[in-house]
A = this chain, B = another copy of it.
Amino acid sequence: MGPEEIPDIVISRLPIYLRALTRLQTDGQEITSSKELGERLGISSAQIRKDLSHFGEFGKQGTGYEIKKLVDQLRRILKVEREWDIALVGAGAIGHALAHYNGFTDRGFRISMIFDNDPAIVGTRINGFEVRDVSRLSELIQQHNIALAMVAVPAESAQAVTDELVKAGVRGILNYAPINLSTPDNVHVQYIDPVVHLQRITYYV
């Protein structure tokens, strides 16, 4: 089965599995089961087995999953057995938090460049990164062949920044601005908006 045929909902759970498995690994555990994983994640063990079966045979009936093997395989599937450079656009409060976030390490990503348009902060450093002028965005992204970006600019500027990122060759964008972005089909966008998540919570509360 080609990767094109795996439903997006399955793909969306793989990073969650990888995160939980990596945690078990850090705790020194070597074997786990769909039951144990399911209890940790609030997902049924049948669902987990079905999801993973899309990618081949991981576990043996009765003996569970070898964590290291499954981690390595999930990393390959998600293409994070390597480390991706990310351009961060926007050095406001969210940009600052991302520049200081230590959760990227060992999970496949590192911020390699930060851009802003505010003359007062261009040239300063955030957690060791020099803030570059956004006017050099296209030039620097192409020069360093950066494929991923995080957009943490105000809603008003997000589409213009996105258009420039796409023109520079970026193929994946994590967008923190609270608007939907238009991109060509081959550019993948994910959204982080705390209010969207909070509204999903209040519906159920």
**Interface on A for B, CB 8 Å cutoff?**
3, 9, 11-12, 14-16, 18-20, 23, 40-42, 77-80, 84, 86, 92-94, 96-98, 100-101, 103-104, 107-109, 147-148, 150, 171-174, 178-180, 182, 188-205
Contact = CB atoms under 8 A, between A and B. Distances in A.
A24 to B, nearest CB: 11
Contact of A96 (B77, B96, B148): B96
Given A16-B180, A101-B93, A201 B190 contact: yes
A195 B14 CA distance: 12
Given A148-B205, A180-B40, A199 B96 contact: no
B79 A172 contact: no
A103 B98 CA distance: 17
Contact of A198 (B23, B108, B205): B108
A192 B197 contact: yes
Contact of A94 (B15, B97, B195): B97
B200 A11 contact: yes
Closest 7 CB pairs between A and B? A172-B201, A97-B97, A15-B199, A190-B197, A93-B100, A15-B196, A93-B97
* Most B CB within 10 A of own CB, among A40, A180, A198: A198
A145 B175 CA distance: 33
Contacts of A18: 199
